[in-house]
Amino acid sequence: MKIGLALGSGAARGLAHIGVLKAFQEAEIPVYAISGSSMGAFIGGLYAAGYDVFQMEKLIYELDWKIFTEFFDLKITKSGLVDGKKIDRFIYEFIGDVKIENLDLKFCCVATDLFTGKEIIFNSGSLIKAIRASISFPGVFIPAYLDGMFLVDGGLKNPVPVNRLPEDCDVKIAVHVGPFAEKDDFINKYYSNGENFVKDNNIFVNSINKLLKEILRINIDNGKVKYPNIFEILVQSIAIMQEATAEYVMDDVDCIKVKPDLDGYKLTDFTKAKEIISIGYEEGYRLVNQLISMEDVYESK
């Protein structure tokens, strides 16, 4: 059975992908193909390049986030906080100079053309350049410049690229780790035929009110309101807007939807990596048991 995994965007919440992959690795269930967006592209790219999930866990758990920040030498520039060359060097430390077409399993990831808004699919060429483009969150990482295009985070256009898995996959699995906005009328009214934005001012205002409550996460302490920092607001706002697109893509493909229970975990909670990976593992374990009941699950060719 050819199993394809689509690993979605989600910043720190995307660390749950490591847990999902760990469950597959422990059960010795082969993965035929991976598609990824943003953090999903990074984790999926490492796995496709032969990086062991236990190595990933060890790396994440031992990572000193203060050193991590100093490595990137954060500073304000006109295009972003983190220099592109530093990102390239960071990714290179993990996987070296690898071509996507030479990986042991089928892999692709997505990025977004900053000026046309088009989805750019990487299924060949440099894995480093592909991941670099897919994780380039606007305003934080300087856009990746490739073939005359300025490329940014793949999650802006396709947060869970399950529709980019190979057609010959017998089972397609979408792992969605983004923060979930109120779906009710918001998704349906904002998307006509899944694509066209409908300007409904009443729904818009009501939805914005809901989103502000989610973004601000207001806590009262001694009569004072604690507001999130600007990075948290930026990340959370974009992630919430991605939700409608993610739901549309997943609904349009015959796939198994997996949504780890990450309520209460923010997109910036990298210091809670162990908890997030554990939650991903629990969801992956349930998924693996479901797959084991299927015929030929251990055959990937």
**Cβ atoms of 14 and 272 closer than 8 Å:** no
Nearest-angstrom CA–CA distance, 74 and 139: 12
Burial of 270 (0-12, 13-18, 19+ CB in 10 A): middle
Compute CA distances 207 → 40, 178, 203, 210, 286, whole Å: 27, 18, 6, 5, 33
Buried b (16+ CB within 10 A) or exposed e, 123-154: eeebbbbbbbbbbbbbbbbbbbebeebbbbbb
Query: N- to C-terminal Cα distance for the chain?
Result: 7
- Reported as type and span, the H/E element at residue 4 is strand 3-7
**Catalytic residue numbers, as ranges:** 38, 153
Buried b (16+ CB within 10 A) or exposed e, 39-67: bbbbbbbbbbbebebeebbeebeeeeeee
Instruction: Tell me which DSSP letter residue 189 carries.
Output: H
Nearest-angstrom CA–CA distance, 267 and 249: 21
User: How many other CB atoms are there within 10 angstroms of residue 103's CB atom?
Assistant: 17
Cβ neighbours for 71, distance < 8 A, ≥ 6 positions apart:
86, 90
| Largest pairwise CA distance in the chain | 62
Q: Is 126 helix (H, G, I), strand (E, B) or coil?
A: strand
